Amino acid sequence: MFLITVVTIFPEMFPGPLMYGIAGKRLRKLWDIKTINIRDFARDKHRKVDDTTYGGGPGMVMRPDVVHDAMTAALAHYEKKPKILFMTPRGEVFSNKVASRLTDGNEDGLIILCGRYEGVDQRVIDHWKSTHGMDEISIGDYILFGGEIPAIVVIDSCIRLIPDMINNALSVVNESFSLDLLEHSQYTKPAVWNGAPVPEVLLSGDHGMIDRWRTECAERMTKAARPDLWERYAKQDNER
Lowest mean pLDDT among 26-30, 113-117, 177-181, 203-207: 177-181
- 75 versus 58: the higher-pLDDT residue is 75
- Residue-wise pLDDT tens digits, 89-105: 999 999 999 999 999 98
Secondary structure string (H, E, C) spanning the chain: CEEEEEEECCHHHCCHHHHCHHHHHHECCCEEEEEEEHHHHCCCCCCCCEEECCCCCCCEEECHHHHHHHHHHHHCCCCCCCEEEEEEEEEEECCHHHHHHHHCCCCCCEEEEECCCCCECHHHHHHHHHHHCCEEEECCCCCCCCCHHHHHHHHHHHHCCCCCCCCCHHHHHCCCCCCCCCCCCCCCCCCEECCEECCHHHHCCCHHHHHHHHHHHHHHHHHHHCHHHHHHHHHHHHHC
pLDDT score for 177: 52
Does the reported pTM lie above 0.85?
yes
pLDDT score for 23: 97
Domains of the chain in start order, with CATH, are: 2-159 (3.40.1280.10), 174-239 (1.10.1270.20)
- Residue-wise pLDDT tens digits, 213-230: 999 999 999 999 999 989
- Residue-wise pLDDT tens digits, 156-201: 999 999 999 987 555 555 554 556 789 899 999 999 999 999 999 9
CA distance 48 to 61: 11
pLDDT score for 175: 52
- 57 versus 18: the higher-pLDDT residue is 18
CA distance 235 to 240: 9
Residue 74 has pLDDT above 70, yes or no: yes
